[in-house]
Structure 1
């Protein structure tokens, strides 16, 4: 049965048991959208940006790309095998999506030579295609309905597309448009408030508002991380990509641990296995 289109994108991500032991519609394999969700999301995008740059410089783009792809595939396999939302598994996968998404966007520009404006437009088309296919198949884009293998596949395909688009958009403003890293971060910090305002005052659909903001978290976190890591010659603070990655990792670990502990305390037992479709 398809869910109503207008259902909200935010809500409990835990398994909710009915008196007869069946899984209620609130169960999902992705986290509840709270303030902490957005904080961790922005931190992971920043870490993914600087970690990708650091690995490419130390290992070379080919080896770094192979390592990033391997880590991404391994963690997504682990995520798909879990029977319910697990904070450590989910956010580890998000970190690897961030790292590899940066690598993929950089390869398209640096190696292939595609301008950021063109790649951003291409990734936007890819994102739209994934979302339209998801909606045509499932009748909903709500993230608290991620409880089948097929919907989970659509979800992670969307996440990958948003990271690639956000990376290209951030590089477009900072580099091609010559705004620099810090002004780009300020720009995206302002823009990320727009979907919330449209939701509050113009009645924008909650699902649309969520994915709009989700895309913008990528260039927001990455712009400030690049600003901290880049040299003064390139408009940054000169802290280095390695130290910035480690500095961002610390609050990520602390917050994910908090979410994991909270999950264990408040989440009822999930179903034995997710259905195939």
Structure 2
């Protein structure tokens, strides 16, 4: 009894972590996309607010993580539910730093990178391994989930920083993390350390999943496919459920497999060579980012391009007299809502609400410009100013209030 108990316990603990297969990475990207959409839906659509949403998901995370820790074997539904909740929570923590505390993305990236290094350092000093295949105790499993939480936060911050630097659109922004993940996979196949390869890929799947969701959900005028956030979220959620059902029935993840390092003939010399390879990939990635940053672009992806030339209105001229009353009222309502959100410090909700004005304005451009091109040009310039202020990397509330007040005054003239 005594001699077999440790082995039995080890098998049970190992089974709580899925095998690292293509299914693992596919569902990881799906969870990342749905997690962010779910956070936005509760935070913005339901109007709960960023701070309250973060508190709610912190409590949900505590509950789901407790469930995951208490079960005695790997259960796909529980494990991936925990991943989704961790994805949402990590994203919210990054959003709080950026939108509430005004921390720029580069600083958030640095902060979370340092925190992740500390987690890995303490984990290694305590357990002498960072491999997920060695998670045989609750202590190690706690380190595992803490590291995952920080990787989501780091991936969110790094992804936002990259978009700010490059100004890439949603479609192009998918290619960068996808290319880096492919490079990591090639390195692993050539003999790179499996633990290092795993965590590099895990971090990179966060911006990949988020950018993929944005590309599918944003309107065509914003560079997306125009599918919509709602349908995109439903699609990915359905894909997650279908994959989990398949994994639960087929149990393909329960098949014992050797440690990832054993899949290729790895020597210490080859691992060192792959470190040089990863360093070269990192250098190329940095060079690409610097090159993209040097190219002409007005702002980060999702921000407005160069403002149009604004023609001044004649003294006493109304900017809205020739426009449909219903359109003007709707514009004023959106601007008032956005201004109220800014004044309450709800930056994320304000940026989301003003997108309604951007969408409506773009859809009605041909009609409104035809009715009064001069007034349209003035309003279009003021809307661009509002959008840029709300989507700035470092929010300036005074500038936002000024831009919104000016636009509201023009819409009321």
When normalised by structure 2's length, the TM-score is 0.57
Instruction: State the secondary structure of the residue aligned to 1:113.
Output: coil
CA deviation profile, 1:248-273 (whole Å, cap 9, x unmatched): 100100101111223399579xxxxx
CA contact (8 A) 1:195 1:209 kept: yes
- For this pair of structures, how many residues does the alignment match? 249
Q: Does 1:46 align with 2:28?
A: no
Measure the CA separation in 2 of the matches of 1:158 and 1:210.
12
Instruction: State the secondary structure of the residue aligned to 1:23.
Output: helix
Q: 1:120 aligns with which of 109, 114, 138?
A: 109
Q: Residues 157 and 50 from structure 1, CA distance in 2 versus in 1: closer, same or farther, beyond 3 angstroms?
A: same
Name 1:68's counterpart in structure 2. Answer: 57
Q: Does 1:30 align with 2:17?
A: yes
Measure the CA separation in 2 of the matches of 1:83 and 1:267.
17
Q: Does 1:141 align with 2:149?
A: no
Measure the CA separation in 2 of the matches of 1:231 and 1:89.
34
Name 2:207's counterpart in structure 1. Answer: 219
Q: Which has the higher contact order (CA 8 A, sep 6+)?
A: 1
Q: 2:44 aligns with which of 51, 57, 74?
A: 57
Q: Residues 264 and 182 from structure 1, CA distance in 2 versus in 1: closer, same or farther, beyond 3 angstroms?
A: closer
Name 2:67's counterpart in structure 1. Answer: 78
RMSD: 2.2
Q: Does 1:99 align with 2:88?
A: yes
Instruction: State the secondary structure of the residue aligned to 2:18.
Output: coil
Measure the CA separation in 2 of the matches of 1:267 and 1:205.
23
CA deviation profile, 1:111-160 (whole Å, cap 9, x unmatched): 11111111011111111111111111101111111121110010001000
Q: What is the CA-CA distance between 1:25 and the residue it aligns to?
A: 5.1
Q: What is the CA-CA distance between 1:218 and the residue it aligns to?
A: 0.6
Name 1:11's counterpart in structure 2. Answer: none
Q: Residues 48 and 72 from structure 1, CA distance in 2 versus in 1: closer, same or farther, beyond 3 angstroms?
A: same
Q: Which moved more, 1:145-154 or 1:170-179?
A: 170-179
CA contact (8 A) 2:218 2:227 kept: yes
Measure the CA separation in 1 of the matches of 2:161 and 2:89.
18
Name 2:216's counterpart in structure 1. Answer: 228
Measure the CA separation in 1 of the matches of 2:195 and 2:212.
27
Q: 2:159 aligns with which of 170, 177, 180?
A: 170
Measure the CA separation in 2 of the matches of 1:175 and 1:51.
23
User: Normalized per residue, which structure has more helix?
Assistant: 2
Unaligned 5+ segments in structure 1 are 1-18, 269-277
Q: 1:192 aligns with which of 181, 184, 187?
A: 181
CA deviation profile, 1:149-208 (whole Å, cap 9, x unmatched): 11001000100011011111111222343112221111111010122222233x321111
Q: Residues 85 and 245 from structure 1, CA distance in 2 versus in 1: closer, same or farther, beyond 3 angstroms?
A: same
Q: Residues 199 and 266 from structure 1, CA distance in 2 versus in 1: closer, same or farther, beyond 3 angstroms?
A: closer
Instruction: State the secondary structure of the residue aligned to 1:85.
Output: coil
Measure the CA separation in 1 of the matches of 2:106 and 2:65.
29
Q: What is the CA-CA distance between 1:102 and the residue it aligns to?
A: 1.4
Q: Does 1:263 align with 2:251?
A: yes
CA contact (8 A) 1:231 1:239 kept: yes
